[in-house]
Amino acid sequence: MRKTTFPAVLATFVVCFLFWLLLDFSFKPEELIAGAIVSLAVALFSARFFIHEKAGWFFHPLRLIKLLGFWCVTFPVELWKANVDMAKRCFTGCTNINPGIVKVPVDLKSDYGQAALANAITLTPGTMTLDIAEQEGQTYYYIHWIDVTATGEEAGEAIKGRLEKGLKGVWE
């Protein structure tokens, strides 16, 4: 079990408190104090599960803007293309599919970056991350792909090329 560190508690507290403000949406002092107490308790108990390294990473405005740019611009564009493709397959009888599981090398180093990329791939219709494996220092994803047209590096470029580029700016 990892130890609870002060920066991790602080970061978790800030996120919890922001969430409280969003859900509660009232700025009376007594509600703010109640929210602060609850957030602090939650942060003390759960910080060690959430944050293992570099607690202040996202309180840097440039990274925050890049992350927002990824989730608000790069990702929706990919999402739209994949969704239109998937909807076409569904409306034309679900017969022109060629499913398979491909192994794809990934260059992201950070655990959080890898998790974000895996989630982005799973959210895109047509691709779905099964597993993450590490062999000889290189990380690989096993991805179920609805229409296999390539393998290895080429498959990686087709599936996650733009997504990975977007996330690299945030985690490096």
**Which residues form the interface with other proteins (CB under 8 A)?**
19, 22-23, 25, 76, 79-80, 83, 86-87, 89-91, 93-94, 97-103, 118-120, 122-131, 133, 142, 144, 146, 148, 151
Cα(158)–Cα(43) distance, rounded to whole angstroms?
40
Helix axes 6-24 and 29-50, enclosed angle (nearest 10): 130
Q: Which is nearer to other proteins, 12 or 124 (CB)?
A: 124
Dig out the tokens for 136 from the structure: 């000889």
CB of 79 to other proteins, least distance (A): 6
CA-based nearest residue to 97, from 86, 108, 106: 86
Cα(70)–Cα(116) distance, rounded to whole angstroms?
11
Cα(85)–Cα(92) distance, rounded to whole angstroms?
11
Q: Which is nearer to other proteins, 5 or 110 (CB)?
A: 110
Q: What are phi and psi of 125, to 5 degrees?
A: -60, 140
Q: Which is nearer to other proteins, 10 or 21 (CB)?
A: 21
- Cα torsion 35, 36, 40, 43: sign: positive
CB of 3 to other proteins, least distance (A): 26
Q: Which is nearer to other proteins, 1 or 26 (CB)?
A: 26
Cα(56)–Cα(42) distance, rounded to whole angstroms?
18
Q: Which is nearer to other proteins, 10 or 128 (CB)?
A: 128
